[in-house]
Amino acid sequence: MWRDKVKAYEGQIVEDLKGLLSIESVREDDKASSENPVGPGPRKALDYMYQLAERDGFGVHDVDHIAGRIEAGEGEDLFGILCHVDVVPAGDGWDSDPFNPLVTEDKIVARGTLDDKGPTIAAYYAVKILNEMNVNWKKRIHIIIGTDEESDWKCTDRYFETEEMPVLGFAPDAEFPAIHGEKGISTFDVIQNDKAEDQDEPEYELRSFKSGERYNMVPDEAVAHVAVKENMTDVIQNFEQYLNDNQIDGESVVDSGVLVLKVYGKAVHGMDPSIGVNAGLYLLNFLSSLDLDKTAANFVEFSNKYLFESHFGEKMGMKFHTEVMGDVTTNIGVITYDNQKGGSFGINLRYPEGFEFEEALTRFKSEINPLGFSIELGKNQTPHYVEKDDPFVQSLVEAYRNQTGDQTEPFTIGGGTYARNLDKGVAFGAMFSDSEDLMHQKNEYITKKQLFNATSIYLESLYKLCVEE
């Protein structure tokens, strides 16, 4: 039944999704203003969702242009569907324009198809279809739209300062059948405070280093500028050998007497950095083979000692595992160095229930302070958990099983979704077990089958929870 309902809307779903995907809704702090709190792209995507809602007869409510909602349904209790329309930067290596959606017979290719524009449109259409069926709503529905999920969550932080909290709800921003637990997520910077004086002129001076744009992405490119006193050819040959030995890509050029080294890695979502290739850490590892100036040498040594080839916090003394939620993970998402200011590492740490985060961070601080490094803590979100046997979770899972026949149990993840904003919130789709997970990677796509099946599942689940007695 529900799949038949969706079939009549397939063309509209694709067209509306294409419009949303065409907006480059990447956070741009240098273009932020009161009108565009995290840049013009996310604001434009938010306004686009308002336009769809107004076209279809729904009410909308904006909160300072950084978040807002689409209003549907009737009743006393409030059900939330928490979505986001911002995306991570596209990065390099795409086979098509990441913001000019490529629609083929079976899929749609663009940045945001999986995370989170495709699922957002699927959830929106589930509400739209039910509304056009003139169902007898038993709950109010707020489709809450954020614009800063991929960075600091300024959007939901601001939204829930003044707006009603849903009694329960889901975030269509993960996997089916349901995610009933999410790890704690912390971001912090390790900052080099001390500059070391060189007694003699160093053979090699690290002028600058840059890798990564987001804490929650494994960096796929790193660039270092190195002043070389002599033996330039030897350094280049050793670099090429290093690339070959480690089976990674890179290149070197000489620019005005300065050696520019580049390493190319593999970008993946920061929740599981072990499946990516961190270009920044590899390049720092190579630089450790050079007799660098002392400040740079200290920076590079820190990376090797605590960060390189340590995806699970082992080298930082933070290794921890639970059966329910898995391992602590550490992603080094942003690395910078300047020969005048020193360097910094931007770290995204994810941890299961039971991990003593504050205690671990305090211990790590005390260990690295004598080495000339300090820690600046950013945001820390504690783990989120709803019992998988909760009737709400089981209702969602039942809808999934009815539509797919798959009996997979709900599970927990290392990622973080808006579901953790709610006391009783879970992540619910839109990826399936056979979906290729290209979130935060090049050539991100969603299949039409996945998009339409997710819409059907959302339809049934919303009918169960918000229409049926």
Rg (the chain; Cα; Å): 24
Q: Which of 24, 86, 115, 116 is catalytic?
A: 86
Task: For 110-248, list the strands marked E by DSSP.
Answer: 140-146, 168-171, 174-175, 179-182, 184-192, 204-211, 221-228
In sequence order, the β-bridge partners of residue 102 are 109
**Cβ-count burial 34-64 (b if 16+ within 10 Å, e if not):** eebbbbbbbbbbbebbbebbeebebebeebe
Copy the structure tokens of residue 237.
């040959």
Q: Which residues contact 256 (CB under 8 A, 6 or more apart)?
A: none
Select which of 149, 182, 205, 220 is catalytic.
149
Helices (H), 253-293: 279-287
Angle (CA) 453 442 47, round 5°: 65
Tokens read off for 132: 């056009």
CA–CA separation, 73 and 58 (whole Å): 9
255 assigned to active site: no
Q: What pairing do the DSSP bridges indicate for beta strands 78-84 and 140-146?
A: parallel
Compute the distance between CA of residue 394 and CA of residue 391 in angstroms, rounded to an integer. Answer: 5
- Give the pair of three-digit tokens for residue 369: 């302070």
User: Residues in the chain, how many?
Assistant: 469
Is 86 catalytic? The answer is: yes
Give the count of beta carbons closer than 10 Å to the beta carbon of residue 289.
Answer: 13
Q: Which helix (H) or strand (E) holds 299?
A: helix 294-306
Catalytic (active-site) positions: 86, 149
